[in-house]
Amino acid sequence: MPKFIVHGGQPLNGVIRPTGNKNAALPMIAATLLTDEDVFLENVPRIKDVLTLLSLLEVLGAETEWTGPSEVRVRAARIGETQLDAGQAARIRASILLAGPMVARTGGMQLPPPGGDVIGRRRVDTHFLALRKLGAEVVEDPGFFGLRAEGGLKGADMFLDEPSVTGTENAAMAASLARGTTRIRNAAAEPHVQDLCNMLVGMGARINGIGTGTLEIEGQERLRGGRFRITSDHIEIGSFIGLAVVTRGEITIQDAAVHHLDSTLIGFRRLGVKVEVRGEDLFIPGGQEPEVVMDMGGHIPTLGDGPWPQFPADLTSIALVTATQCRGTVLVHEKMFESRMFFADKLVSMGARLVLCDPHRVLVIGPSQLRGAPVESPDIRAGMALLIAALGAQGRSDIYNIAQIERGYERIDERLIALGARIEKADSRT
């Protein structure tokens, strides 16, 4: 397995463009199963999770083809298989997104438990509660979930037990082919959910309430194909903001989907980071020495995540490493996953001054001079945070298990080298 050898301490400068939103690409690829016509997706990130999901669609009988550097054509004219191998499904968390389209299109499937990042327990209950509401039968057997809707799905009023992103996406896809009207309350409203819903509308579904906590979906007998574009990845954009701060570089982020960045910019500005909105671009000035903005009365502030439109959970790892370079004290509170913050000990080994208070909270005292160290990437976002730390650190860092980073960030080493980064991909045994 390869590793990154990083020589840090150099400001990164220049212009970078984010790829399409990984978390939009995956459900939108799954949604191509809802029609027998050609679907073209533009601005698709060519990353391992996308490649894995496309291979799963091929197992089910769909045709997939890269028709450009970032464009994919999918045609699911015939679905000849309704069962996935457990090893295949375990390669990716997004395999769960096949449940809704497959039940709606074929009447059922056998789905092994999904894989994905090890960042704590990740419930699948919401998915199956929603599908049961629509009339599907869900049987949990050792090693797989059996899904069946022999009489077809029927619209229903449902209240999700949590605003699950993928649970909302599964319910919306299934409801698009269900008879009658479905009302999904306590729905997730993240940008990637909006991208999916807009795609479903373009395929012929009727959906009201996109971007809110309540979706009303009028099911159709069939959906058509079409051409749809994936929005820039707001998590990658947030990662590049952190990159500029930690390396003290000057970076312009083009096509930054600024209409989705309110909570992200509020969070970074709480750390004292200066960010300028220039039309659809973001400009991060170089040489910043951010100072944490204290709460009124001089109290230590908390930077916490929450369901959209609050600060994104996937950016808490990036915020944590950014905070190590900001003067002052801040509590980073990640509320969703009980293992995401465990990579904090790796930052300590690099010289960061912080305290892991419990599985969800880290107290950071900055700024600290980071130094190079051998570290291992535990998941996509923590891996990117460690790469950012290594680029801002003095000396050499060896980052292992970089396949985790590459699951979510396309050609990240090449793109950062274009900004002046000193990164080499090498055999992990060297």
117 classed as catalytic: yes
Q: What 8-state DSSP symbol labels residue 365? A: E
Q: Which residues contact 293 (CB under 8 A, 6 or more apart)?
A: 269, 270, 271, 272, 301
Interior/surface letters 344-372, b for 16+ CB within 10 angstroms, e for the rest: bebbeebbbebebeeebbbbbbbbbebbb
How far is residue 90's CA from residue 381's CA, in Å, rounded to a whole number?
A: 19
Query: Could you please report the per-residue DSSP string of 122-139?
Result: ---HHHHHHHHHTT-EEE
Give 236-240's long-range contacts (Cβ < 8 A, gap of 24+).
236/18, 236/19, 236/409, 237/18, 237/261, 237/264, 237/282, 238/264, 238/268, 238/312, 238/315, 238/318, 239/315, 239/318, 239/384, 239/388, 239/409, 240/16, 240/18, 240/284
Q: What is the CA radius of gyration of the chain?
A: 22
**DSSP H helices in 141-231:** 165-175, 191-202
Whether residue 288 contacts residue 274, with contact meaning beta carbons closer than 8 Å, is answered with yes
Out of 36, 38, 85, 117, which one is annotated catalytic?
117
Pairing assessment for the beta strands 63-68 and 108-111 based on DSSP bridges: unpaired
**DSSP H helices in 260-303:** 262-270
Catalytically active residues are: 117
